[in-house]
Amino acid sequence: MATHFRLRLYLLATLVFLGFGLLTVRLYEIQIVQADNYKNKLPGGSEVSVRIPGVRGEIKDRNGITLVQNVANYEVNLDLKEIVSQYKKSHKNVPLYTFFPIVRGQPQERKEIDVVKIVKQSVLPGLAELGLAADFNSKQLRLHYRTTSGLVPYTYRRDLKFEEFAVFAEHNLNIPGVTVSAKASRDYRFDSMAGHILGYVNLPDIKLIPREEQAEYNHYVGDDYGVYGVEKTMNHYLQGKPGKRVLERDEKRKIVGEISYTPPQPGADVYLTLDARIQMIAERSLRKIGRGAAVVMDPQTGDILAMASVPSFNPNAFIPTIAQSDWKRYTEDPSSPMFNRAINPYSPGSTFKVPIALSGMLSGTHRRNFTCYGGVQYGAKYMKCWCLSKGFTHGSVDVSQALKFSCNAFFYQYANVCGIKDILKMTDILGLGRKTGIEVTGESPGSVPGPQQLRMQGLMWSDAFTALAAIGQGANEATPLQMASVTATASNGGRVFKPRLIEKVAERDGSVVFREAPKVTHDLTKEGLTREDVETVKHGMWRVVNESRGTAPRAKSEITMISGKTGTTQTGNPREPTNAWFIAFAPYKTPELAVCVFVHNGASGGRAASPIAKNIIDETMAMRKGKNITLDRLPEAEGNFDRILMVSFDGAGLEEYASDDADEAVDVSGIMPVQLTAKKKTRSRAPTPSIKRKADAEGSVEKQNTKRKQRWKNLRRMIGGRR
């Protein structure tokens, strides 16, 4: 009996052990061997792909000095699709928001999920626990959700400090749909310096992204993109290649790990022909006036070494978004700080006598003398020379003397003998009347009208129109950049270079992906002129500065030999009667610099513009001999409408009107036809930036940040100790 009982006990024990063994084998097979297969079958488990924007390349000057760089910007992003989904799982009733869009001209009632209320109920309390909830614009949040359906994360905050970022990074996993990131953001190292050239970027715009590209990711985080200046024109080089992060999400839709990560690649670096030190010199020199521009070029290559415009703006104000108050200040300021005067046209006045002098050399007119009797009669119109109001005449002069005296009467006759056909030919060779094509936005072509253009306005060309063109008035317009290029040609022996702003584009490994060598578009010695002809004009410009009775004695330098040409133009505006110009080059024998300065509301080229050009040249030549030029962040230049009588760099600033320099401006209001005087200027407008909307009442979280935890204080103390 005992033996029989023991046998059954052994049999039962064997069955139990066998069962446990089979169970163990099965568990091993399920949990170890087939673990990946069963993981994929978990309900709700999924992968989430996130596009990571590329890092923009830097912008540097010709010497490698960084002008635009990237810095870390800490952001909080809300995955609205995830937040709404989680809310639906935990709440029976989803709040709805009623709005009235205009459909076919009539308001129509529509209902949508009240994403603002959901965010305030499910997200902000958690952020308030950390003391980091912030006011937001509810309308902007609704519009973002409505237009993207939650595909693109909503950036809740872009202004986190590092300590706040660290708090988010430690605790935000407890708040569904909230992520934090360190994103590269633009930093314009010298604030307003070269702002009109560099431009600015806007935040990503999902409307610009093709739908098929959006569909590749669960969360599409777009790239900042250039909308103004070099940031726009070279955007295709600067923009980096995106990366991709694939995350694993469990059945509760909580991120539990990272499956793969492809890092973003940086964009190429753009090297400008600018010299940051010369740019700083030009910008500081222009601070003597309220409105104007300066361009500095290398006559031997066509490289733009500096290009400045005042008043100015700070591109950093646009990063990552610009406050509505700042944008309003920029756009409503009557002095137009966003307006780049260096590439916009004005009547060039007597500086235009340089291309006119070159025009006459196509036919040999430059070998003739013409007599100044104080003016010239053209039909019923008597066109005066500026000397007549001073009580004298210039007498018989040649082209070199005429440049020195800036004799209007000489150039009236000279231009009519050589003819408008040769004038149009020469100005076309010099690049006047068309855009230079440099990589900036908003450049104007200027205007050099001829008989055909006037015929389209119902006017017949006459000798009086040719005379107006000879002194750079009438409908003639040129940009400071164009006149700097003309100066370079006159100084270098007649070679016309295409103005160049981009030195090269290079990848981070140093490989060059784009380089455009200096390009000579024309050579005047191959167009019928001799080197001696060009030298005649060059010498005439030397006489303007360095001989008695020249129109720019204030440009004479003790550092180098400066040559130039003044210009003063009538505007027809009694409150701002004249604008002032001065073009110059230095040194004389082998020019290194060609400069153009334009002064809005300047009394004369000799008094208001030439001292600025002289200071730019003197400071640059001193720098090249070893003087240190400090590069600092440059505040915005404020505009004004002051009458610029004279500019001085000896500490006196603006001085009283002097009578010993020539005032070349002549009143052409009675000569200009109504069709031309009524012409309206059109200014290119800066593109609308990413504007930071003000928080509204519905987005207020005034009472939320009341529960600061002790661990936040401890963490801040710890981080502060590390740093």
Q: How far apart are the two ends of the chain, measured CA to CA in Å? A: 84
Q: Is the pLDDT of residue 677 over 60?
A: no
- What is the per-residue pLDDT across 357-391, written as a single tens digit (0 to 9) for each? 999 999 999 999 999 999 999 988 899 999 998 89
Give me 59's structure tokens: 């912008």
- What is the per-residue pLDDT across 56-77, written as a single tens digit (0 to 9) for each? 999 999 999 999 999 988 888 8
Q: In terms of DSSP bridges, do strands 691-692 and 322-323 run parallel, antiparallel, or are they unpaired?
A: parallel
pLDDT tier at 151, thresholds 50, 70, 90: low
Within this chain, do residues 412 and 545 fall inside the same structural domain, yes or no? Answer: yes
β partners of residue 570: 578
Distance CA(367)–CA(417), nearest Å, equals 12
Q: Quickly tell me which residue has 């004004």 as its tokens.
A: 640
What pLDDT score was predicted for residue 669?
A: 65
Within this chain, do residues 615 and 707 fall inside the same structural domain, yes or no? Answer: no
Q: Is the pLDDT of residue 182 over 80?
A: no
What pLDDT score was predicted for residue 52?
A: 85
Within this chain, do residues 435 and 480 fall inside the same structural domain, yes or no? Answer: yes
CA distance to 103, 113, 114, 193, per residue, from 110 (Å) = 11, 10, 12, 49
What pLDDT score was predicted for residue 637?
A: 96
Residue 137 is part of which domain span?
Answer: 47-272+700-722
> 212-226, 364-378, 680-694, 707-721 — which one is most confidently predicted on average?
364-378
What pLDDT score was predicted for residue 40?
A: 54
pLDDT tier at 681, thresholds 50, 70, 90: low
| Domain containing residue 562: CATH number | 3.40.710.10
CB-neighbour burial class of residue 650 (10 A; exposed 0-12, middle 13-18, buried 19+): exposed
What pLDDT score was predicted for residue 205?
A: 84
**Does residue 587 or residue 73 have the better pLDDT?**
587
pLDDT tier at 152, thresholds 50, 70, 90: confident
Within this chain, do residues 460 and 605 fall inside the same structural domain, yes or no? Answer: yes
| Domain containing residue 247: CATH number | 3.90.1310.10
Least confidently predicted of 17-21, 384-388, 411-415: 17-21
pLDDT tier at 511, thresholds 50, 70, 90: very high
Distance CA(502)–CA(268), nearest Å, equals 13
**Does residue 477 or residue 128 have the better pLDDT?**
477
**Does residue 528 or residue 717 have the better pLDDT?**
528
Within this chain, do residues 461 and 312 fall inside the same structural domain, yes or no? Answer: yes
Average pLDDT over every residue of 126-133 = 80
pLDDT tier at 1, thresholds 50, 70, 90: low
Q: Is the pLDDT of residue 638 over 90?
A: yes
Within this chain, do residues 266 and 151 fall inside the same structural domain, yes or no? Answer: yes
What pLDDT score was predicted for residue 20?
A: 73
Query: Model's pTM, two decimal places?
Result: 0.85
Please indicate, yes or no, if residue 631 is contained in any of the structural domains. Answer: yes
Please indicate, yes or no, if residue 527 is contained in any of the structural domains. Answer: yes
Q: ∠ at Cα 172 (166, 176), nearest 5°?
A: 160
Distance CA(494)–CA(527), nearest Å, equals 10
Within this chain, do residues 473 and 587 fall inside the same structural domain, yes or no? Answer: yes
Within this chain, do residues 257 and 311 fall inside the same structural domain, yes or no? Answer: no
Within this chain, do residues 362 and 321 fall inside the same structural domain, yes or no? Answer: yes
Please indicate, yes or no, if residue 630 is contained in any of the structural domains. Answer: yes
Percent of the chain with pLDDT over 70: 87
Within this chain, do residues 311 and 349 fall inside the same structural domain, yes or no? Answer: yes
What pLDDT score was predicted for residue 294?
A: 98
pLDDT tier at 655, thresholds 50, 70, 90: very low
What pLDDT score was predicted for residue 713?
A: 46
Q: How many helices (H) and strands (E) does the chain have?
A: 24, 29
Collect all residues with Cβ–Cβ distance below 8 Å to 359 and sequence separation of at least 6: 415, 418, 422, 423, 425, 426, 427
What pLDDT score was predicted for residue 412?
A: 97
Q: Is the pLDDT of residue 675 over 80?
A: no
Least confidently predicted of 196-205, 245-254, 300-309: 245-254
Please indicate, yes or no, if residue 255 is contained in any of the structural domains. Answer: yes
Please indicate, yes or no, if residue 289 is contained in any of the structural domains. Answer: yes
Average pLDDT over every residue of 605-629 = 97
What pLDDT score was predicted for residue 659?
A: 38
- What is the per-residue pLDDT across 239-287, written as a single tens digit (0 to 9) for each? 999 998 887 877 665 666 778 989 999 999 999 999 999 999 999 999 9
Q: Is the pLDDT of residue 177 over 50?
A: yes
Within this chain, do residues 547 and 574 fall inside the same structural domain, yes or no? Answer: yes
Least confidently predicted of 25-29, 250-254, 648-652: 250-254
The torsion angles phi and psi of 312, rounded to 5 degrees, stand at -130, 175
**Does residue 41 or residue 461 have the better pLDDT?**
461
Least confidently predicted of 202-206, 302-306, 652-656: 652-656
Please indicate, yes or no, if residue 6 is contained in any of the structural domains. Answer: no
| Count of residues in the chain | 723
What pLDDT score was predicted for residue 716?
A: 44
DSSP 524: G
What pLDDT score was predicted for residue 717?
A: 43
Distance CA(27)–CA(19), nearest Å, equals 12
Collect all residues with Cβ–Cβ distance below 8 Å to 23 and sequence separation of at least 6: none
Q: Is the pLDDT of residue 300 over 80?
A: yes
**Does residue 112 or residue 59 have the better pLDDT?**
59
CB-neighbour burial class of residue 669 (10 A; exposed 0-12, middle 13-18, buried 19+): exposed
pLDDT tier at 43, thresholds 50, 70, 90: low
**Does residue 711 or residue 612 have the better pLDDT?**
612
pLDDT tier at 36, thresholds 50, 70, 90: low
Average pLDDT over every residue of 388-398 = 93
How many domains, in total, are found in the chain?
A: 2
What pLDDT score was predicted for residue 118?
A: 87
Please indicate, yes or no, if residue 687 is contained in any of the structural domains. Answer: no
What pLDDT score was predicted for residue 605?
A: 95
Within this chain, do residues 417 and 352 fall inside the same structural domain, yes or no? Answer: yes
Contact by Cβ (8 Å): 294, 614 = no
Q: What does the mean pLDDT of the chain come to?
A: 87
- What is the per-residue pLDDT across 703-719, written as a single tens digit (0 to 9) for each? 554 444 444 444 444 44
What pLDDT score was predicted for residue 709?
A: 43
pLDDT tier at 134, thresholds 50, 70, 90: confident
Q: Is the pLDDT of residue 595 over 90?
A: yes
CB atoms within 10 A of CB 696: 13
DSSP 467: H
- What is the per-residue pLDDT across 471-481, written as a single tens digit (0 to 9) for each? 999 889 999 99
Average pLDDT over every residue of 651-678 = 56
What pLDDT score was predicted for residue 3?
A: 63
Please indicate, yes or no, if residue 128 is contained in any of the structural domains. Answer: yes
